[in-house]
Structure 1
Amino acid sequence: MSGVRARGARVASIDVLRGLVMMIMMVDHAREAFFLHHPVSDPMNLAETDPGFFFGRVAAHFCAPVFVFLTGLSAWLYAHPSSGPRSPAGFLFKRGLFLILLEITVITAVWAVQLSPPTIYLQVIWAIGLSMIALSLLHRLPRGVLIALGLAIVFGHNLLTPISFQPGEAGYIPWTILHDRGFLVSEGLVRIKVSYPLLPWIGVILLGYAVGPWYASATAPEQRRKLLLSAGAIALVLLAVLRGFNIYGETLLWEQGADALHSVMSFLNVTKYPPSLAFLLLTLGVGLLVLAWLEQRDNWFLRASAVFGGAPMFYYLLHLYVLLALQMAAIALLGANYGKRYEFDHLWQVWALSAVLLPLLYWPCRAFGNFKRRTTMAWVRYL
């Protein structure tokens, strides 16, 4: 499988990587649907988290940063088709607004029926939507400026951690949106909580857009592969130094555990909300290496992954509602066993459910992907 299939065609490796993280997302959301009695702290409490649960959660860490980075990269490809450059500003702005609308309506509805009082969680789709709006305003900057700005945000936002505001203070709402996870509205009929503070994700989407020229038709596949390998290796070396010596980039210092396994767990126990520098170096570093590896790989599993990655929003909405329907069916048929919910007793059941659902979702995603390529209806592009 080459990185670029043909002139004007979709980039296969991008769809594959997007599909891979979306399959991991299924496991994490199945856990939230059927294993919610085992809460997840951020970072995780290693004294209470068994290795199987921990590494499953670490795998889920890759979903959001890879998805946001690929959103930026895909935006550059949209702006530079084979027919000639075009402005992505209008599409990015409208798509961003559409994603925010989906987050507070269709996606919130999934969680609202399961929570009391109902809560609007502003999560990854909200973050992607606002990041796209930011990119619609910033994409005209010179590429060097975009790289510098993206790196400054990704590397520098940890310096802002000591800044905080209390509810009711003038800076609380904007700072909660930008950097500190918290409630915008904590009381009343509907609560609103920012789960994905925005600022770091703007840095990630800018870097994704700046990497776009590596996928230009004039760039040889081998050169692109070397660039991806170099960038990924640099990110992981920086992680090893900054995290290894507890210099900078993560508020929770790692320490030697009782054994090698728990030492590794401590090293990988990084902050997601907002994503620390260590979190982003780990996830984006590995993501870049995987993109390089995918340049020369092709098999049935990767082609299946590309089907999911080619219909990302359709898959996202579909899998959330399938999990909600299964939760409601389980309560109706088996009864609630954890409060008002039906949940699994063992983590392996979450993995088994995911293994069953993914092949079933392949066919509707494939059908929608084919429909999206054939149709002339403009609204379909937003899904």
Structure 2
Amino acid sequence: MAGSISIPSGAVGNVSQSRAKPVVSARLANIDALRGFVMVLMLLDHLRETWFVNYAVTDPINATTILPAIGFARFAASFCAPIFVALTGLGVYLFSVHHTVEETTSYLLKRGFLLIAIELLYLSPLYWGIVPQPTFWLQVIWCIGLCMIALSVLMRLPRPALIAFGLIVLCLHNLLDPIQMTQGDALFPLWAILHQRDVIALPLGFVAKTTYPILPWLGVISLGFGIGPWFRSDTAPEVRQRRLLLLGFGLIAAFIVLRLINVYGDKPWFVVEGDPVRSLISFISLTKYPPSLLFLLPTLGGGALLLVLFEQINNSRLVAALAVFGGAPMFFYLLHLTVLRILYHSALAIWGPNQGQFYMFDNYNWVLVWYVAMIVPLYIPTAWYSRLKRRRKDIAWLKYF
């Protein structure tokens, strides 16, 4: 939406109620391009999880045994979730300056519960029949849904308090790592959802796997919301870019210093004698479940730098193409996972298992081949849906996908 818009009464955080100042347009090409960039990166990791899952990838990865190509690909994929969750917070801020706090709250609650339902009722069943026990995989979509619900409350804080909350959670949540609960503990299910990756037993033989404990991600989405004013249209581009550059390089510098000190923020790294490549992999091998401080610093820092890059080249074909994926991220997410499941089950039905109960590639290079081959076929329907969202503003449910 171009032009100026006034700010609603009772606006979120410290946004005034005057509706007098111009605000940022609802969709910025560099934000969509960054979101699209991480969606394309994510495809590579999901291809590995589909066709190469027999090759164990620990969290964090073991630098002494990992295939180097997978080690570096896994690090690249590490940027996906932090950037996407931060952009979700930023997107909520952009939404809030066009709507009242009540409308923003309603949107967050509806979208949050919808994402939880999609994770439980659609995405999890995609994997049933492959895993030995029916499992509800509480992954990134579930996590974002819960974070949006929580943000409907957190966004009412003054902006400095919200940013302080995000920083405290981001920097200090690893101090909670020694707290471990077991199935018999009264608070175990809550703690598994908040901070301890674990399995929760459910009735009828089902289990829930808390792959994405939400506490660190609450910090990320809060900080994404907190930097929202940087993207107002009355903020000069050079001011916004300078702030993003300082933030990006600052986070990456903090990561390097803390990683070299090697005492807090993640499991220690080590030098692999006579193998500088594996030593580097050890240095960038970081814990994702839940995301450590050192996992979040370089990924969020890199996201800030990419926002600057994409804003500076926003007239390029690359940004335009990436913005297509970023303009319909939920559609692309559901589409590519559905296509991968169909392809996998088709291969399993035609050729049968070749690795235990699975059908798997015997060479990681085939994962790379499929990655290149699938980008254009997935781009075409995503571009159609992205255009549909822009064209049919009268269809209310489209904004939720």
Cα distance change, pair 255–187 in 1 and its aligned pair in 2 (3 A): farther
Deviation at 1:186, TM superposition (A): 6.8
Which of 337, 347, 371 aligns to 2:354? It is 337
SS at 2:199 equivalent: strand
**TM-score, normalised relative to structure 2:** 0.91
Output the CA distance in 1 between the equivalents of 2:382 and 2:62.
Answer: 37
Deviations 1:185-227 (A, max 9, x none): 1785321111000100000000000010010011111111000
Which of 30, 33, 40 aligns to 1:23? It is 40
Tell me what 2:25 maps to: 8
Deviations 1:347-375 (A, max 9, x none): 11111111111100111011111111222
Output the CA distance in 2 between the equivalents of 1:213 and 1:7.
Answer: 8
User: AA paired with 1:51?
Assistant: P
Deviation at 1:36, TM superposition (A): 0.9
Contact 1:79 1:86 in 2 (8 A): no
Q: Answer yes or no: is 1:257 the counterpart of 2:257.
A: no
Deviation at 1:339, TM superposition (A): 2.3
Tell me what 1:285 maps to: 301
Deviations 1:232-290 (A, max 9, x none): 1111111111111113211x111222232222111111111110000000110111111
Deviations 1:161-197 (A, max 9, x none): 1111121111211111100000111785321111000
Deviates more, 1:46-55 or 1:153-162: 46-55
Q: Answer yes or no: is 1:139 the counterpart of 2:155.
A: yes
Output the CA distance in 2 between the equivalents of 1:364 and 1:89.
Answer: 31
The 5 Å alignment of 1:237-316 reads 237-250=253-266, 252-258=267-273, 259-297=275-313, 298-316=315-333
Tell me what 1:61 maps to: 78
CA RMSD in angstroms comes to 1.6
SS at 2:312 equivalent: coil
Which of 108, 111, 116 aligns to 2:127? It is 111
Tell me what 2:400 maps to: 382
SS at 2:205 equivalent: coil
Tell me what 1:3 maps to: none
Q: Answer yes or no: is 1:167 the counterpart of 2:183.
A: yes
Output the CA distance in 1 between the equivalents of 2:328 and 2:129.
Answer: 26
Deviations 1:126-177 (A, max 9, x none): 1100000110111011110011000000001011111111211112111111
Identity %: 45
Output the CA distance in 1 between the equivalents of 2:209 and 2:102.
Answer: 36
Q: Answer yes or no: is 1:123 the counterpart of 2:139.
A: yes
Deviations 1:37-82 (A, max 9, x none): 112111111222021111111111111111000000010001113x
The 5 Å alignment of 1:41-80 reads 41-80=58-97
Contact 1:327 1:341 in 2 (8 A): no
**TM-score, normalised relative to structure 1:** 0.95
Unaligned runs of 5+ in 2: 1-22
Deviations 1:301-337 (A, max 9, x none): 2211110110000000000010011111212333321
How many residue pairs match? The answer is: 376
Contact 1:73 1:208 in 2 (8 A): yes
